[in-house]
Structure 1
Amino acid sequence: MKKAEIKIIVELDENNLPESIVWESTDSKNKEALPVKSFNLSLWDHNYQNTLTIGLWTKDMPVDDMKRFFYETLQTMGDSFLRATGETNIVEDLRDYCAHFADKMEIKQ
């Protein structure tokens, strides 16, 4: 059985606020850690029937980038949900909401 590891390294300041975030994967062609400004991680706990989440961003991440990050996260969640369930109607509703979100946040699509 093949195994892969994803590692996320967060450097914190004296107040425990993220200064920098890098990630790397054993499956990646790029063997060095790549810097990012934010990440959301969601894991499904089957035993407790709930979602475990971590959302972190560096303290210097611009608000406009955060708005774009959330917009794109919602879009990709729709893609994943469609692949997992085939539920096209609700994904179309989510796409409509994403367009509304982009409009309200003044995000260029």
Structure 2
Amino acid sequence: MKKAEIKLTIELDEQNVPENILWESTDAQNKEALPVKSMMLALWDHNYKNSLRIDLWTKDMPVDEMKRFFYETLQTMGDSFLRATGEEAIVEDLRDYCAHFAEKMELTDGNAPHSALKG
């Protein structure tokens, strides 16, 4: 059986606010830790039938990048849900919402992919 590990290193300031987030994987081609500004980790607890989440971002994460990060996360959650369930109709609704989100967050000025701008 093959195993892979994902390692997250969070460097905190005196108030426990993330200053740096680094991630690395034993399965990655690049073996060095890579810096990121934000992360969302969601896990499903089968016993309690609920999700466990860790959402972190560095204190220097720009607001415009946070908006884009949420947009990208919503889009990829739709992709994952479609692969997992085959529920095309509801994923199309989510894509419609993503287009609305992109417009409201002013990501439609060329910063959002065309898939978000479908009407």
Fold-level match, TM-score > 0.5?
yes
Structure 1 stretches (4+) deviating beyond 6 angstroms?
none
Structure 1 residue aligned with 2:59: 59
- AA at the equivalent of 2:8: I
* 3-state DSSP of counterpart to 1:81: helix
Match of 1:96 in 2: 96
Q: In structure 1, the residue corresponding to 2:70 is in which secondary structure?
A: helix
Alpha-carbon distance in 2 for matches of 1:21, 1:36: 6
Q: Please tell me the residue identity of whatever aligns with 1:85.
A: T
Amino acid at match of 1:7: K
2:117 maps to none
One-letter identity of the residue aligned with 1:93: D
The number of aligned residues is: 109
**Aligned ranges for residues 39-78 of structure 1 at < 5 Å?**
39-78=39-78
Give the corresponding residue for 2:30: 30
- Distance across 2 between alignment mates of 1:102 and 1:33: 31
- Quote the sequence identity (%): 79
What amino acid maps onto 1:11 in structure 2?
A: E
By how many angstroms is 1:23 displaced?
0.1
Aligned partner of 2:7 in structure 1 is: 7
- Structure 2 stretches lacking a partner, 5+ long: 113-119
SS across alignment from 1:9: strand
Query: Match of 2:92, SS?
Result: helix
State the secondary structure of the residue aligned to 1:83.
Answer: helix
Equivalent-residue separation in structure 2 for 1:31 and 1:44 (angstroms): 28
Compute the RMSD of aligned alpha carbons: 0.4
SS of the residue 1:3 aligns to: coil
